[in-house]
Each structure stands twice: as C-alpha cells, then as structure tokens.
Amino acid sequence: MLLLSSIVMIPLASAALCSLVRSHRVLAGFTIVAFAAELALGLQLFRRVLTAGVVSEWNEFFHADALSAWMVLLIAAVSLATSLYAGRYFRRDFAAGVITTGRIRQFFVLNSLFAAGMFLVVLANNLGVMWFALEATALASVLLVALYNRKTSLEAAWKYVMLGSLGLALALFATVFTYAAAVGPHPSERLPNFNWSHLINVAPQLDRRLIKLAFVFAFVGYGTKAGLAPMHTWLPDAHSEAPSPTSAMLSGVSLKIALYALLRFHILTTQCLGTHFSGTLLLGFGLFSMFLAAPFILVQTNLKRLLAYSSLEHIGFICAGIGMNTPLTIFGALLHMGYHALTKPVLFFAAGNIHQTFHSLELRVIGPGVVKVLPITVCLMGLAAAAATGLPPFGLFYSELTVISGGFAARQTITSVLLLVALIAAFCGILTQLTRILLGAPKVEHSNDSKPWDGVPAMGLLLGALLLFSVWLPGSMLQLIHRAAGIVGGIP
Amino acid sequence: MNTPITASPELGSQLITLCAAVMLVLQFLLVVQRMLLTNIRLFALQSLMLSAIATIVAAFYHASHVYVVAGLTLVGKVFFLPWLLNRLVRRINITQEIEPLLNAPTSMLACGGLTLLGYIVARPFTTLQKLGNNTLAIAITLLLTGFFLMINRRKAISQVLALLTVENGVMLAAVALTTYGMPLVVELGIFFDVMVAVMVLGILVYRIRESFASMDTSKLTQLRG
Amino acid sequence: MNLHPLAILLQTGLLLALAPFVSGVIKNWKAKLQNRRGPPIWQPYLDLIKFLGKDVVISEHASWVFSIAPYVVFLTALSAGLMVPILTVQAPLSLFGGALALIGLLALGRFFLALGGLDPASAFGGMGSSREMTISAIAEPALMLAIFTVAITAGTTDLSRVAAALHEANWQLLNPAHLMAFAALFIVLLAETGRVPIDNPATHLELTMIHEAMLLEYSGRLLAFMEWGASIKQLVLMSILVNLFLPGTLAADGTVAAFGLAFLIFVLKLLGLSAAVVVVETVNAKLRLFRVPDLLSAAFVLAALGLLSTFLFQ
C-alpha cells in the first residue's frame, strides 16, 4: 500500500480542494479531516517502521526510518491541532473585519502546502529533493507570515525570506558538494545514487574534505532555517508577526524539520569523518543559542517574541543534546523535540486568543490580570508555560533531565552545568514575564470574554497528549525513539 | 555535419574558464552599478554565461541531459526572470539604487579580497575538479560577493538580484565539481524553486512598495530586540 | 643584448613620425563619427611646424623648471618608447630595464608636466596639475598590475622577453587574465592620454580641463615639445596594448620584407585601437571629477583580478 506517497499527497490534495472552495467555514473542516487522516497514517507508519525497520517506496524515492516516522507523527499532531484552532481564530477575525475570505482561503491553501512540504522533507531519500521540499516549505511560510499585510508583517516576511533563501542557497552548496563526493566512489557511473540511505552505507569511502566543507555549509544554511544563533535574527520577527496558527506551526515543527535536514548531514559527516567535528559544532552553537536567548527573554516586551525566543532556547538545547553524542543525550534530545512540539503550539494558541481579545501583543498593554478576562485560556496557558520551562510532571522535565544526566555520565561536566544554567535562566525569565501578565488584578477594565471556549479543543488536545505521554510513554514509542536515537548516533 | 564535436577537452576547459571569468567580472560590475535596469541586464548576461558553460559541457563531454539544464537556464534565468524583474521595476517605478553602504572603490576592493578568500577556500579541491580549472573558486566568490551585495544594497530588488547571483554560483559549483551535473530531478526541482522564489519575492516587494511607499529596506526597522 | 645604433635610430624615427599621425587620426575619425568634416589627418604635423617657428613667451613668475619641463616630457616619452617592442620582438633599449623602467620614465615625465603647470603660478595650471596627480595616483597602479599580469605569464618584466614568450603561445587570446589586463590597460590608456570619459581633449572651458590646463602657459617650441611628448606617450601606451597582447604579428627575422609587413600590420593594429578609442570617446560623456576615481579603481580591480587569475587558472 502506498503509505508514504499518501502521506505526502493528502495535504497537496487538501490544498487543491481548499483553493476551490468558496465558503471559509468549510475550509477548516476539510483541513481537519485531512490532518486527522495524516495522523492515522502516521500511526500506521510508526507501526510499520517498528516491525520492518525501514519503509521505502518508488524505488527508494520515499524512505522512512525511525527518525522520519517520529517526525511524521510530530508534524501530523501539530498540523491537526493548528487546523482545529485556525477555524475558530479566523472566524473571529473575519467577524471583526480584520481579514477577508480570500485571505482565509489563502491561509488554508498555504498551510496545507506548508505541511505537505514538511512531510516531503522527512520522507524524501534524495538529498536534492529534501532541499527542494525545504525551500517549498520556506516559500509557503513566507507568504503565511505576510498574510496580514501589515507593515511589521511585511518587514518580518522580508527578513525571513532573505535570510532563509540565503541559508537555503548555502544548503544547496552543501548538497552540491555532497553530490560531488558521491561521484567519487563510482567514477564510471554517470549519475551516481544520491539517496541518503545509499550514501550512509558508502560513507567511509566519500571524500573527507568535500564532506567536511559540505557540512560547514549545511550547518550555516540549514542552521539558519533551524534558528541557530547567530543566524536566528529572523526568528523573533517571523514567529511574532505571523498569524498565531502559523506561529504555532513554525515554532512547533518547521524549526525541527530544518534541524532534521541538518541531522541527516550530521549523521553522514560523522560516519564519513569518524570524528566529533559535526557534533562539536552542534554543541557549541546550541549552547550559544541558549545563552543568547536568555537575556532577550528577560527584556522582552512582546508576548509572541517572548515565545519565539523560548523556541530558540529549546532548539539550542536539542542541538546541544545531539552534539554531546552519547546514546542517552541523543535520546533525551529527540524526546525533547516531541514534547516541545506538543507544548509550544498551546502557548501560541493562547497568545492568539489574548491578541484577539486585547488587540495588542505588548505586555504592558495586556497588563496584569489576564486571568480575570480569559480564565480558561490562562489556565491552559499556565500549564503549558509550566511545561515549557521544564517543570515536572510534564515531559520536558524528563527529557531535560535525561540530557543533563547523560552529559554528566559521559564526563562532560562543564557542558552539562552550562546547560543547566541556561535552562534555569530561561525558566526564571519566562515565568517572571508570564506571571506578571497572567496573574494579579487587571489595571484596566476589560469585558469578560464572551467566547471562553475558543481554541480550547486544540489546546486541550495537545496538552492532553502532552500530559498523557509525560506520565506514560508506551513501550513501542520508546522503542521508536530509541531506534531514531540510534540512527542519529550512527547505528543504522 | 552530424559528427559530434571531438575537439580536445582542453579547448572546452579553456572556454569554460573564460565564461566563468566573465561571470566574475559581471559580478563586480553588479557591485558598482547603480541603475536597477542595468543590473537586471547584467544578471541576464551572467546567466547566459552559465548557460553557455552548460552547453560546452554537454557538447564536449557528450552528456545530453546537460543540454536540458542549459536550456532551462537560458529560458528561465536569461529571459523569464529578467522579464519578470523588469516588469516589477517598472510597476514600482523606482529605477535607481540609492547610496550604498560602501562606496564603489571600497566595494570593489572588498570584493577583490573576497575573491582571494574564495580562491583560498577552493584551493584544496583543485584536483577534484573535472573541467575548467578553479571554477569552484569563482563559484565560492560569487557566493561571497552575493552576500556582500545583499548587505551593501538597500533596495529590495537589488537584494533579490544578489540572491540570484548566489544561485548562479551554486550552479557553477555543480558544473565545476561534477562532470555530468546533478540528476535531472534535482536540477528541475532547483529550477522551479528559483522561479517560484522570485515570484514570491516579487509579490513581497510589491506589497512592501505599497505599504512603505519605498523599496528602501533600511526603512524596515520597526521590529527590534 | 647589444645596442644596435641603427635599431635605435629607426625606432626613434618611427616614434617621432607616427605619434602625431595617431593623434590626427583619432581627431579626424572622431569628427567624422560626429558628422563633422574635422581637421585633416596631417594637421598635428602642421601644428608642430607652426609651433616650432613661433616665439616663446614665459611668465615672469616661472623658473627654469618651466623651461626644461617640455624637454623632460619629450625625452622620457621617447626613451620609454625605445623600450617597447614595436616592429620586432627585441626593443632597442630593452637592456636598460623593462616594465618598471618604462613606468618610472612615464612617471618622471608626468611629474615634470605637473611641475610645469604649477610653475607659472597660474590658477588653472595648478588646478590641472592637482587633478592630473589625483588621476595618476590610481591609474599608475592599474597600469603596473596590468603589465605585470602579462609579465607573470612570461616570467620576466623585460618587455622584449615578454613579447617573445607570448609570440609562441597561441591560445593566450582566450586567457581570461590577459583579457582582464587588456581591459584595465585600455581604461588606463584613456586616463593617461586625457580622453573622454576622464578628460575632454577638445574642451576650451578652463574649469573642465585637466591636461590642457597644464599646457595653457606654454607657447612656441616649448608647446611643440609638450604636445609631441604627449602624443609619443599615447603611441607608447597603444603599442604596449597592441604588441603585448597580440604579439604574434611582430617581425620574426631581419629582412626588409618582414619589417615592411610588420610595420603595415602594426599601423593596422594602431588604427584598430584608435577606432575603439574614438568609439568610446563618442559614446560616453565626460565623467564628473569625483566619479573618475570610481572608474579608475574599477580598472585597478580589473587589473588585480587579472593578476589573481594567473594564479587562479593555473
């Protein structure tokens, strides 16, 4: 059965359908159905990968191993929640006259294309196709960021597209170098196999200098898209100016997809060079991202920018975990990926609700005492904030603990201590900022929100999943993540 | 005459080197030239050189699928994209770049330094190159000077052109390092990506112009911190 | 390596005779291209004869520098010309130095030209001198780099040996380093001979003059030698351009027939280059003074790129 092809084709079909539909109420419904189907397919893929190890179709054009399956699950979950939220969100904006039907339709079409691109990235075997899919994702998301056509959104979109395209051009360089290296072992072949699954098998025979150069380019290129400092400057702008559903998708999964592409190069480089060159780069810049994010979180005045810097910090953490290169830390990092993908969208959905009620994202305008105005939203947001900063019993606590203890176990004491310090700094920053606005008595009288259940299904779904998987991680899922960690660590 | 060209690859190598050198000179001209329409024409010329290189490769090395790449580059980057950008510039009605960050002589010197850097980076790979000595150095130089161009210029269209020259550099690297180019699937993908990217950029530029009444990207400074 | 007195005499005669011819051709063709009749091609010869017959009037503020400057300009241009291969591969004075000596001699000439402009304490002369120095500050490095590019290919700065080395290699035509050096040298030629777009040789507005301003105070035979020196310098630079980049057409042996053929081809090459100069002069407008460094630094960077290319494209 063409599982992988359907995973990629369904969002494309949904995008096509959405472009034809007139009424915007139906649009959300279509997308929800599509992504629910995606989630089901994702679960099936998960089961197939566990039993068969690897799933491939179309002569290895599509190729799914444990790492891909894990990413597919994350994308599907976040996309589903986003579609659930987006329907309500845009209905409210439409009623307020902020947006037209055409723009709403544009959103749903672009959103599906965005998701389709992301699925293609994780399922494509050919490194060139992976690049192409990531670029398609980038282009779709740029138009999404610019959706509201405000001056600030255009500025954010411009910065995003310039830096993103530049990064992807560098990544294309990396792809070309890797291809040149692939030509090496088979000089007689005209067009050697450019599939990742094949390259990883012949990795030790590839030209080392080319692969090293390729990784440096890929690191800067894909790192820009993944939001690693110092190439992260587009991140706060793009994630704050985009409509909240898109911010959730961007922070929740698209950063991780770019990181996935970088990881594929990392695995190849480590196998080829046999040293920790790529791991050290990941670790160093991961730590740098975390320490860069902390002060910005403390001085932030815009709610969504605050959340964006928090994403920067989390991505830095994941990179550091993978860079430390022990089985335990890699496992922790991948687990962290999953939990963060479930948590961050909830925060953005809540921020979206706040934005629509208060018509501003500035923290001093939102003021203290939001809990009196949007009690349910704040409750869910509070839980998500607790999760995002790494409080138990949420899963992020366990993943952070795993990474840090893995670091200590591997005698990388200083690194682990630095990680701990950065995490604590971010923890203090986010909680201070959020409690300042969420709790307390409101300074200005706001009318009580008449739609308290807005967005709750979406947020509830994700939070529920988060809580569930925090306390009970099914054995099969643990196995999948272990396998994925094995792939990243170099055991195919 | 139906016999394929069997002249020595030496001649082909020299022709490729020549075309690559012209691409470099055009890049330098792009750095100092201030009229936007001329810049677009310079870019079209540069892409023409790239297409010529692909054709030479296809002819001398009997790789027929590289003709497709040459053709795509010709149609897309020499005709379509410049036409699109021209239309955009005329619609927006801004034809000249404003004072760049660094003046012309300093920019040229900076780009000269970047050329040297590109050469140093590409030096270890001289033995791996199949044709046209050290076109990899020029490819990396195109990347670095494209970067420089993006920082130095403030008009949005110039930044788009800078990005496109970086893409030209990547394609040149692909030709320099691999005899037969990349698989057609990948080439097609990249080609369509570039087209769509420019269209998206065009939409954005137009919207920026409408919103800000200017294409000066140094006015986009509201988002800070 | 021996000094042939006959060769020296012959080349001196050639330089003296051809220099005004080239100036005349350029002026005439420029006029034709602008739809005028223009002065006849031998007009510069008539002008020289006229100047030689006239009285010399010297400003009372001028010193001896003013009087010897024209002779220095004339002699340096001539000696520089004797180091360049014109008809044969072997230049007559080549043993006294190659590219560096040539550039040094031209610089000496330029120095005295500027001094001569300053000496009579005339405002326009001083202005012309300072502008000339500004331009040459950037043009000279470009000239050096361009010549060095070709010299590196041959492995020596001796222009005769350079021409000999290039005589053998046939495909150097396509060498990107040489093409870039040629382009840079062409721009330097325009700068050194005071042509549009750097300077307008036909202007009569003192404020726009550069080269002409330095000649304003000269009269009689001093002016004759200044003009002659300038046209010889022009011929020298043009010979470098045509003979070092297309040297396959120099005389191989010492027969009269070979010399005759070489002379013919040389004149044809000069005419071709003059046509290029005329077209460039007609098509372009004179640049504003503060834009001239932009153009010249473009030439400089082009020459530097050419030099770099000799390493790049090994």
Write out pLDDT tens, residues C50-108: 999 999 999 888 899 999 999 999 999 999 998 888 887 777 777 666 888 899 999 99
- B218 in a domain, yes or no? no
Q: What is the pLDDT along chain B (225 residues), one digit of tens a residue?
A: 333 444 566 777 778 888 888 999 999 988 888 888 889 999 999 999 999 988 888 888 777 778 888 888 899 899 999 998 888 888 887 777 767 778 888 888 899 889 888 888 887 777 665 555 578 888 999 999 999 998 888 888 888 899 999 999 988 888 777 766 677 777 888 888 888 888 888 888 888 888 887 777 777 777 766
Give the neighbours of chain B: at least 3 Cβ pairs within 8 Å: A, C
In the A/B pair of chains, how many CB contacts fall below 8 A? 130
B220 in any annotated domain:
no
Give the one of B156, B159, B223 whose C-beta lies nearest to A152's C-beta: B223
How far B105 CA sits from the closest chain C CA (Å)? 6
B32 domain-assigned: yes
Per the structure, the complete domain to which residue B149 belongs is given by: 10-210
Which pLDDT does position C40 carry in this prediction?
94
Check CB contact under 8 Å for B108 and C298.
yes
Residue B2 lies in a domain: no
Q: What is the pLDDT of residues C4-49, one digit of tens each?
A: 788 888 889 999 999 999 999 999 999 999 999 999 999 999 999 9
- C-contacting residues in B 105-164 (Cβ below 8 Å): 105, 108-109, 111-112, 115-116, 119, 133-134, 137-138
Of the residues A127, A154, A299, the best mutation for testing chain B's interface (the one with the most B CB atoms within 10 Å of its CB) is A154
Give the dihedral of Cα atoms A414, A415, A417, A423; nearest 10 deg.
Answer: 160
Distances (CA, A) of B154 to B28, B98, B163, B195, C286: 17, 7, 13, 23, 28
Q: How many domains does chain B have?
A: 1
What is the secondary structure of chain B as a DSSP string? --SPP---HHHHHHHHHHHHHHHHHHHHHHHH--BHHHHHHHHHHHHHHHHHHHHHHHHHHT-THHHHHHHHHIIIIIIIHHHHHHHHHHHHT--B----SS-HHHHHHHHHHHHHHHHHHHGGGGGG--SSTTHHHHHHHHHHHHHHHHHH--BHHHHHHHHHHHHHHHHHHHHHH-TT-S-HHHHHHHHHHHHHHHHHHHHHHHHHHHHHSS-BGGG------
ipTM: 0.89
The pLDDT value recorded for residue A411 is 83
Q: Which candidate from B14, B22, B108 shows the least CB-CB separation from C301?
A: B108
**Contacts (Cβ under 8 Å, ≥6 apart) of C260:** none
Q: Does B1 reside within a domain?
A: no
Is residue B214 within 8 angstroms of chain A, CB to CB?
A: no
Specify the number of domains making up chain C.
1
Residues of chain C positioned with their CB less than 8 A from the CB of B109: 297, 301
Who contacts C180 (Cβ-Cβ below 8 Å, separation ≥6)?
B21, B25, C149, C302, C303, C305, C306, C309
SS3 content of chain A, % helix, strand, coil (to 5): 80, 0, 20
The pLDDT value recorded for residue A335 is 92
Q: How many alpha carbons lie under 13 Å from residue B24 in its C-beta half-sphere?
A: 35
Q: Do C313 and B32 touch (CB under 8 A)?
A: no
The string of pLDDT tens digits covering residues C102-136 is: 999 999 999 999 999 999 988 888 999 999 999 99
Q: B interface mutation test: which of A155, A170, A210 has the most B CBs within 10 A?
A: A155
pLDDT at B6: 47
User: How far off is chain B from C151, nearest CA to CA, in Å?
Assistant: 20
**Does the beta carbon of B196 lie under 8 angstroms from any beta carbon of chain A?**
yes
Q: Do chains B and C touch (3 or more CB pairs under 8 A)?
A: yes
Mutation site, B28, B56, B106, B108, interface C, largest C CB count within 10 A:
B108
Residues of chain A with pLDDT under 50: none
- Asked whether residue B86 is assigned to any structural domain, the reply reads yes
* Residues of chain C in Cβ contact (below 8 Å) with chain B: 171, 174-177, 179-180, 293-294, 297-298, 300-302, 304-305, 308-309, 311-314
Of A126, A176, A296, the CB nearest to B177: A176
Domain assignment of residue B223, yes or no: no
Query: Residue C259: what pLDDT?
Result: 82
Contact B174 A176 (CB under 8 A): yes
**What integer pLDDT is reported at residue C204 of this predicted model?**
79
